[in-house]
Amino acid sequence: MTRCTRNWATRLCAAALIAAGPVWATPPQVVTVEDALFARNADTLFLLRTITDNHRLHMVRQTDTLLIHRSLAGGDDRGFRGVARVIDFGPDGAPRVETLPLQDPANPYDLFAAADA
């Protein structure tokens, strides 16, 4: 009886390890957000926000860049504009890097001049 129990337990353990193997190979989704001061005028801070996302893949990284308008008085965000969206598919990607189109992308330097920053 002991021999039969060990054999059953060994098979169950092996089946569990085989079934769980692919789950260990998938990385977690990692999203990072970083703000950098870009400009300032009398009442507004302009921040460049970079958001990166690995899409739960080892070699892929999407980077979104936004221009944030933040009130100096209240600290609240007044709005944002998209600047760029780029996906790096890694060394095996074809193409390696792709710039995705944005609807009405902002040029931070044009807004910098227009806002008298």
Residues found in the chain: 117
CB of 39 closer than 8 Å to CB of 115: yes
CB of 97 closer than 8 Å to CB of 86: yes
Q: List for the chain the helix, strand, coil content (%; round to 5).
A: 25, 40, 35
Amino acid 80: pLDDT: 94
Distance of alpha carbon 15 from alpha carbon 8, whole angstroms: 11
Amino acid 107: pLDDT: 94
Q: E strands along 14-75, which residues?
A: 31-40, 44-53, 61-71
Residue-level pLDDT, tens digit, the chain, 117 residues? 455 556 777 776 666 666 665 555 789 999 999 999 999 999 999 999 999 999 999 999 999 999 999 999 999 999 999 999 999 999 988 999 999 999 999 999 998 788 887
Instruction: Report the candidate in 53, 112, 46, 37 with the shortest Cα–Cα distance to residue 80.
Output: 46
Amino acid 103: pLDDT: 94
Q: H-helix or E-strand containing 13?
A: helix 2-25
Amino acid 16: pLDDT: 65
